[in-house]
């Protein structure tokens, strides 16, 4: 839900290579799953591929709460990442991001999501994102990376050696 925010800070395009990195605005954002303890259980945030259109990264999310599965939810994230925020991240600066998470279903609750993105290099970094779930502050700290130009990722086949 608040994962939208950290996606926006992942737009770092600096490097020492002689080849220019693809523009972060054309790449998809991948955020690792992240967990936090809650009472006698844990909450895990899973964010799908995020794509940027008109300055907003959007994608699906799931929040799984163990052992309280009735608290699970899923929905859509929308994180606003301005061109200035992208430029700051390109310079390796920590970037603050805001967005919303809207649950699926007839209730369709919307939550504010806040995050800070800390670039490690032009393709990777860490996020700290948070949002309120009822009266509880949920804080997740996943890693992120950029991939391709919005194209589907294809893994090379594994070739088993003959014995």
The total domain count for the chain is 1
Give the chain's residues under pLDDT 70.
1-26, 149-163
DSSP code of residue 151 = P
**pLDDT single digits (tens) 67-106:** 999 999 999 999 988 888 877 887 889 999 999 999 998 7
CB 146 within 8 A of CB 24: yes
pLDDT of amino acid 131: 95
Structural domain includes residue 154: no
Domain limits at 40? 3-147
Q: What is the chain's mean pLDDT, rounded?
A: 79
The pTM of this model reads: 0.74
pLDDT of amino acid 83: 81
Positive or negative: CA dihedral 110, 114, 120, 123: positive
Structural domain includes residue 157: no
Structural domain includes residue 152: no
């Amino acid at each position: 839900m608040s994962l939208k925010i950290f996606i926006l800070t992942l737009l770092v395009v600096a490097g020492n290579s002689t080849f220019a990195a693809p523009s972060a605005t054309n790449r998809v954002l991948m955020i690792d799953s992240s967990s936090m303890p809650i009472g006698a259980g844990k909450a895990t945030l899973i964010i799908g591929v995020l794509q940027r259109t008109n300055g907003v990264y959007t994608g699906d999310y799931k929040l799984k709460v163990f052992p309280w599965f009735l608290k699970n939810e899923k929905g859509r994230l929308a994180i606003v990442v301005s061109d200035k925020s992208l430029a700051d991240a390109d310079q390796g600066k920590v970037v603050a991001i805001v967005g919303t998470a809207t649950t699926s279903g007839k209730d369709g609750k919307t939550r504010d999501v806040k995050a800070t993105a800390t670039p490690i290099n032009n393709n990777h970094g860490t996020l700290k994102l948070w949002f309120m779930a009822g009266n509880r502050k949920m804080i997740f700290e996943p890693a992120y990376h950029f991939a391709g130009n919005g194209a589907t990722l294809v893994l090379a086949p594994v070739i088993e050696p003959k014995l």
